[in-house]
């Protein structure tokens, strides 16, 4: 791959040091080789040149928790709390076919790219047939996005249809076939996990997952303490104070684990998250949509817990927009604490970049603009009426910028979006296919 130079941009590297400067970034073979202020000193002859005038250059955003196919289920069940909502979502397993997963996931990837996401974690939990997971992975790979595919398991639960309840050994064989087909690397890695403990997982499964993940050296993704009803379940059925405490008992709180939501966690459980090095994916829009509650994000950050940001699936968010999610994350903590200064915009932006990369085990790969990291970069046009004039660039990226301001998206040095035009994918065709898939799915669900 030849060289690439992005120049005349305002660089926001998102390292621990809070800084922004006018400069350039050079890329060779998909890796950042130079980050500098002003203009490039050496010749850029032969490089592909991208002019970042009027734009801020950020590390690509990391969506740490989503279910891509759910773009086909936008605004279908939007007035239900978690348990009745989950009953409907799980019930979709009887209607979903592998082609729905491919088509829906590809549309979700297009929305992600257009909104400046370069890495996502697909938390996969509905597999009426093994091809559903394969087709989701195929869509992600076709898109060019960097991804972690977390193939999780359910083995019990009154609201879980039999077609997606799995014996641990059978589920592990399916995951092994995914691992055998795809070479794990920086572009695509795998995780497993209990889907929503304890409402759809037995203690035996939790134990077996720890053993399997260790054997395969893969991480853990789980929905954790999303609503009060889940915590009531863990108290009644397991005599534990909370879901984090239960997972800790089985060794599932660990540095390569990501606990999505973590809304209803106690002070002691926050200490456990810190002590075990477990990361959290905060999904504020989804939490608000389902009326779950407010995750103790400020408390977790103060205790040193790594917090990432996720959209969650479009069935509980309506979109895959991480700019929306950043703004929601900021405002939700302000109103919850009734303190306008409770969270810094830079902290929110770190959650959507470096925090997400760390949560997914990709700290050495992406999440900041630094020499040696993969070139996952986005140019966001701030020269627009809703972004100008700039007084505080970090606040304005979080509170003013929109997904539609994303001009250019680069993953691994490959330009996936150039001046808002997709280079790899045909969004008109993908959208047309998704409409057909949606119609078919609604008929199968008898909702049309």
Q: Could you list the residues that contact Zn ion (CB under 5 A)?
A: 312
Taking the complex as a whole, the smallest distance from the CB of residue 260 to Zn ion amounts, in Å, to 5
CB 222, min distance to Zn ion, A: 10
Of the pair 296, 313, the CB lying nearest Zn ion is at: 313
Q: CA 113 → CA 60, 403, 404, 410, 412, distances in Å?
A: 9, 9, 11, 9, 13
Question: In the complex with Zn ion, which residue's Cβ is closer, 24 or 125?
Answer: 125
Torsion (CA) 105, 111, 114, 120 in degrees, nearest 10:
-60
Please report where in the chains the tokens 């984090």 appear, as a residue: 244
Tokens 């304890």 identify what position? 198
CB of 208 or CB of 312, closer to Zn ion:
312
CB atoms within 10 A of CB 144: 22
Which CB sits closer to Zn ion, 190 or 394? 190
Q: Measured from the CB atom, is 312 or 376 closer to Zn ion?
A: 312
Q: Least Å distance between CB 66 and Zn ion?
A: 7
Report the nearest approach of Zn ion to the CB of residue 54 (Å). 36
CB of 110 to Zn ion, least distance (A): 20
Evaluate whether 67 touches 315 at the Cβ level (below 8 Å): yes
Per DSSP, the residues of 279-314 read EEEE-HHHHHHTT-----HHHHHHHT--EEE----T
C-beta nearest to Zn ion: residue: 312
CA-wise closest residue to 419 among 402, 400, 428, 406: 406
Closer residue to Zn ion in complex, CB, 107/375? 107
Between 135 and 312, whose beta carbon lies closer to Zn ion?
312
Question: Coil, helix or strand for 121?
Answer: strand
CB of 13 to Zn ion, least distance (A): 30
Rg (CA), the chain: 21
Q: Look-up: residue for tokens 């405002």?
A: 331
- Of 123 and 374, the one with the shorter C-beta distance to Zn ion is 123
Look up residue 258 and give its two tokens.
Answer: 């990501």
Distance CA 260, CA 17 (A): 27
Give the integer Cα–Cα distance in Å for 340 and 399: 13
Q: Which CB sits closer to Zn ion, 23 or 313?
A: 313
* CB of 70 vs Zn ion, minimal distance in Å: 9
Question: Three-state DSSP class for 338?
Answer: coil
Residue 64 beta carbon to Zn ion: minimum distance, rounded to whole angstroms: 11
CB-count burial class (<10 Å; 0-12, 13-18, 19+) for 43? exposed
CA pair distance 368, 358, nearest whole angstrom: 11
**CB closer to Zn ion, 11 vs 153:** 153
Specify burial of residue 64 (Cβ count, 10 A radius: 0-12, 13-18, 19+): buried
CA distance 113 to 135: 19
């Amino acid at each position: 791959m030849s060289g690439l130079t992005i120049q005349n941009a305002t660089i926001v590297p998102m390292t621990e040091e809070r800084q922004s400067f006018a400069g350039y970034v050079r890329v060779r073979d998909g890796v950042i080789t130079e980050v500098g202020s002003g203009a490039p000193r050496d010749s850029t002859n032969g490089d592909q040149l991208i002019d970042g005038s009027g734009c801020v250059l950020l590390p690509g955003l990391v969506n740490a928790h989503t279910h891509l196919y759910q773009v086909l289920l936008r605004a279908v069940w939007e007035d239900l709390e978690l348990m009745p909502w989950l009953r409907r979502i799980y019930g979709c397993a009887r209607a979903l076919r592998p082609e729905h997963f491919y088509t829906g996931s590809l549309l979700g990837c297009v929305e992600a790219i257009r909104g400046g996401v370069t890495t996502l974690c697909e938390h996969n939990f509905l597999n009426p047939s093994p091809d559903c997971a394969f087709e989701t992975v195929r869509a992600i790979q076709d898109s060019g996005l960097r991804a972690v595919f977390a193939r999780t398991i359910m083995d019990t639960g009154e609201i879980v249809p039999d077609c997606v309840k799995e014996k641990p050994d059978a589920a592990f064989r399916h995951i092994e076939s995914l691992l055998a087909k795809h070479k794990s690397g920086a572009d695509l890695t795998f995780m497993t996990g209990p889907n929503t403990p304890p409402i759809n997982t037995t203690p035996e499964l939790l134990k077996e997952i720890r053993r399997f993940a260790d054997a395969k050296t893969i991480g853990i993704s789980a929905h954790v303490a999303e609503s009060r009803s889940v915590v009531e379940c863990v108290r009644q059925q397991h005599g534990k104070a909370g879901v984090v405490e239960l997972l800790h008992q089985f060794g599932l709180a660990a540095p390569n684990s990501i606990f999505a939501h973590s809304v209803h966690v106690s002070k002691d459980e926050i200490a456990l998250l810190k002590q075990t090095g477990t990361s959290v994916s905060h999904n504020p829009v989804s939490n608000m949509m389902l009326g779950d509650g407010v995750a103790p994000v400020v408390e977790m950050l103060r205790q040193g817990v790594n917090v990432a940001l996720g959209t969650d699936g479009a069935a509980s968010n309506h979109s895959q927009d991480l700019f929306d999610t950043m703004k929601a994350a900021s405002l939700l903590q302000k109103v919850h604490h009734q303190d306008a200064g409770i969270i810094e915009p830079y902290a929110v932006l770190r959650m959507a970049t470096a925090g997400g990369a760390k949560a997914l085990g990709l700290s050495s790969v992406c999440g900041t603009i630094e020499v040696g990291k993969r070139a996952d970069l986005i140019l966001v046009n701030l020269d627009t009426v809703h972004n100008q004039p700039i007084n505080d660039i970090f606040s304005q990226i979080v509170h003013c910028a929109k997904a539609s301001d994303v001009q250019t998206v680069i993953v691994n040095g490959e330009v996936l979006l150039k001046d808002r035009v997709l280079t790899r994918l045909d969004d008109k065709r993908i959208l047309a296919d998704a409409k057909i898939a949606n119609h078919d799915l609604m008929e199968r669900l008898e909702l049309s």
